[in-house]
Structure 1
Amino acid sequence: MCVKDTKTAKRVVWINYAMNVVLQILLACVGCVIYAKYSQCDPIKAKLISRSDQLYPLFVIQTLGRFPGFTGIFIASILSASLSTISSGVNSIATVIVEDIYKRISIARPMSNERQATVSKVLSIGLGLFTIFLAFIVSYMKTNIMTIVLQIFGAFTAPILGVYLLGFFTARVQSRSALVAFTLCLTFQIWIAVGSTVTVKPPNKQGGLLPTSVVGCMQSVNISVPMSKNQNYNPLISLYSIAPTWFVFNGAIITLLLGLIFSFICDSKYPKIVDKSLVITRDDIFSCCSSRKEVMKLTIAQKYNGISTDNTMIEKESMLKT
């Protein structure tokens, strides 16, 4: 909606995708570097920090602290990225509430621009205070905040992605099958997220975390090792120990498979009629690659205008193939 045409919007989406891939690769490299530094001297086990999301700031302080200015640049980058993300999120939520909820229940219609601006400002202030309150609550939690975010994100967005893939790649699935698949996957994802949060996992089941030790610490570290107790074996411990980064992938695949299964069971009697206006080709998706083909077709079509009408259709088809 912010660019001039659909083709430019597609290019923006592909550029955004490429930049996100680069960002994820850089984040993975940062994680590998931090693990290489602290794998033999775990700061959490050494009681230097209390939570795993404090590893990155500790790494910056210990590694870049000897270079003047680098720590300040890191803090400024984190604060600027956080404030911009929070402000845009708060404003987006306030806009959605005004457009989809407040306008529908409001008696005064139509709403004036001044009233909309006032309501949006009040909602932004309230949502901002609520965000600060949530941050205050999270500061007392022992669980890594990124783990919680990934679990919530995977639980609620994976079914939506699965339904989108169903509509994008299949022509057989009806709305009823998609709704059943969405509901079952959402229930399963929430169950796994809650179970992985409240279940105490054994040391060898830590949700994809790599092993660490304190043998490489320079100074002696006192570690309290809890006595092993005979606990009842939980058959679902392997399911609850899935890494949160797999939540989105697992949920999308589950929704896709359930939708296809229910489509064969419930939608078999529906005729397979597809509206041609809803079908797109590969050239429509990869618009950057298709623009050159369109130019070539246009050039060939212009050459046709100069060809005499005595030429046969076979000669035209041979020229098109060429």
Structure 2
Amino acid sequence: MLEGVFESLASVSRGSFSWPDYLVFGGMLASSLAIGIFYAIKSRNKSNDEFLLGSRSLTCFPVSISLLASYISAILVLGGPAEAYYHGIQWWVICAGQIALPIVAVVFMPFFYNLGLISMYEYLEMRYGSRWVRCTASGMYVVQMLLYQAVVIYAPALALASVTDFPLWSSIITVGLIASVYTAIGGMKAVIWTDVLQLFILIVGLFSVVIKGLVDFGGFERVWEIGRRHDRTGSHIFTYGYVPYQRHTVSNIVIGIIVSTLSQYACTQTTVQRYVTMKNLTHSYMAIFLVIPFFILLISLSMVAGLVLFATYEGCDPLAAGLIAKKDQILPFYVMERMSAFPGLPGLFVACIFSGSLSTISSGVNSQAAVTWEDVFSKIPFFARLSLTAQAGVTKFIALTYGMLALGLAFVAGSMGGVLQAAIAVTSSVAGPLLAVFIMALFMPFTNTKGACVCLLLGTGVALGFSFGATAVGLKPELLPSPTDACPPNLNITVSAPPAVRVSDLNYPAKLLGLSYTQMGPLGLVVGIVSGILVSLVTGMSRGRRVDPKFIHPWVRWSVPQPEVVAMRVKEHSYDNKISTQF
């Protein structure tokens, strides 16, 4: 079987779509758009409560799928198998990081659910009595999401264009335009139900790759053995102990993913907004716990898919053979080279990639619109006086605008290669400080506005500095050896050289820039909390300002004096009616 693979490598070219492929792919896009149109027509309550929160009537299963789909993008679909292929399966241990989700369910979610806010950053204004913290946090979130959305659109489009006849520009426009339109017209319900459809397609697409490979090799045992021989599998590849300068150790990965998961599911607009959409607290609990098995399934599929790819190309790595330019193109290359004989399967795979992009874009666009309306436009008298229907119309226009901005940034990313790395660095570096400021607000009643702002800005700045610094000195991950001895003689083999700069080559203080990318979130968290506490203490803590106990977590309310309720009219209605007596 392997000889046939290597013969086909010698003459491989970009794969072409057949009509069944276009039918499968077009059917996914049409279905996503149809869901948006359906909810646009069905919606009776033409208000922001319907558009942004689905009238608070949704149930746990679709919301759980949407929670996961918001963060499982096409980057994971392409990057997961490439990670297993070129670095081994140690990344699989990120599944252990899901231990953070029960913490989210018990500690954070009930508090924010009972507040019932559209913009969760409004809580920061309620807690600190200042718009500065609220605007800083919401602004950081909007910028972070825009940059991440550009990556989510551009990266898979580039990978597909490199190995298929699917043009780059058409991929970018298709993803950006369709996600923006169905989100803008259908609102939260459209986003959630299209996420369900798209995640199902994503799972089916990965399953098709895994099943095809396992059938070719006669089962999982042989695939695992091939990986073991080349240091991709086996207990020996798992390194333990906390080594912050090593790219991956079990401790590094688990610590990093716990911080990332806590930030994403405890205090990010995209997720907290979904908690509020559900009909009661029980459904919110169930939605969080349902994420765990689906997450483990997706990560496991991506790891096994990577092992299947490595077993298929054992002896002739397509990257070394010059058939692909980047490691993230290995999965699209495999699909077009090995599965194009089955009409419809390449179309299913492309639909899988686009589904990952669509779900992330739509979730981000809807949450960005919620933050922008609540934190900016609702405070402007002209917009505040509009009818509920007109306010919803403004919010829909904001959502569409964000979608178009992400689409435009994706084209900019194509001409400015550094934007991609910058966007990924911003995404990981913002997560830690955002978690830090909410921990301070909830559990540290003595912290103040100045401390919260410094926490956000300094924590993010330090994490970004380390991320960009590593790029500036030329640090890159080293690939595991991939054999090329079985390649056809007419291929130009270029065995990848070790990185020009390694962490071990650097001296202090430059060596500090070798901090593993998995530690950017924890770094931002620690720097944010420490700096926020110190600044709060130096600037007189609350300076005599009474902190309303209902804006402090129930676990530490005993430490707050019980004064008369402070009048904090952030909205025209009282928040007292929104706070559950559960606490």
- The answer to whether the superposition gives a TM-score over 0.5 is yes
1:8 aligned partner: 283
1:9-48 equivalent positions in 2, closer than 5 A: 9-34=284-309, 41-48=316-323
The answer to whether residue 473 in structure 2 is matched with residue 193 in structure 1 is no
Instruction: Give the Cα separation in 2 of the matches to 1:198 and 1:73.
Output: 39
- Asked whether the equivalents of residues 171 and 274 of structure 1 are also in contact (C-alpha less than 8 Å), the reply is no
**Higher share of residues assigned helix:** 2
The answer to whether residue 522 in structure 2 is matched with residue 249 in structure 1 is yes
1:1-322 equivalent positions in 2, closer than 5 A: 1-34=276-309, 41-107=316-382, 109-140=384-415, 142=417, 145=420, 148-166=422-440, 171=444, 174-175=447-448, 177=451, 179-201=453-475, 206-207=476-477, 209-213=478-482, 215-216=484-485, 218-219=487-488, 220-223=491-494, 235=508, 238-256=511-529, 278-280=553-555
**Structure 2 residue ranges without an equivalent (≥5):** 1-275, 557-583
Q: Secondary structure at the match of 1:139?
A: helix
CA RMSD across the alignment? 4.2
Matching residue's letter, 1:58: F
Give the deviation of 1:128 after TM superposition: 2.5
Q: Structure 1 residues 269, 76: CA separation in 2 closer, same or farther (over 3 Å shift)? A: closer
Deviation readout 1:59-87 (Å, 9 max, x if unpaired) = 32234334443222111122233223323
Matching residue's letter, 1:252: L
**Structure 1 residue ranges without an equivalent (≥5):** 282-322
Instruction: Give the Cα separation in 1 of the matches to 2:548 and 2:400.
Output: 47
Give the deviation of 1:135 after TM superposition: 1.7
Instruction: Give the Cα separation in 2 of the matches to 1:18 and 1:258.
Output: 37
Matching residue's letter, 2:391: Q
- Asked whether the equivalents of residues 95 and 120 of structure 1 are also in contact (C-alpha less than 8 Å), the reply is yes
Give the deviation of 1:43 after TM superposition: 3.3
Instruction: Give the Cα separation in 1 of the matches to 2:500 and 2:304.
Output: 38
Give the deviation of 1:106 after TM superposition: 4.6
Give the deviation of 1:214 after TM superposition: 5.5
Give the deviation of 1:156 after TM superposition: 1.0
TM-score, normalising length from structure 1? 0.64
Identity, in percent, stands at: 25
Q: Structure 1 residues 56, 173: CA separation in 2 closer, same or farther (over 3 Å shift)? A: farther
Matching residue's letter, 1:195: G
Q: Structure 1 residues 41, 83: CA separation in 2 closer, same or farther (over 3 Å shift)? A: same
Aligned length: 271
Q: Say which is worse superposed, 215-224 or 188-197, in terms of deviation.
A: 215-224
Q: Say which is worse superposed, 255-264 or 9-18, in terms of deviation.
A: 255-264
Q: Secondary structure at the match of 2:382?
A: coil
Deviation readout 1:168-202 (Å, 9 max, x if unpaired) = 6x55762355554443321111112222333323x
Matching residue's letter, 2:432: A
Matching residue's letter, 1:221: N
Give the deviation of 1:3 after TM superposition: 2.7
Instruction: Give the Cα separation in 2 of the matches to 1:162 and 1:36.
Output: 43
Give the deviation of 1:166 after TM superposition: 4.8
Instruction: Give the Cα separation in 2 of the matches to 1:214 and 1:39.
Output: 7
Find the structure with the greater CA-based Rg.
Answer: 1
Instruction: Give the Cα separation in 2 of the matches to 1:23 and 1:265.
Output: 47
Q: Secondary structure at the match of 2:376?
A: helix
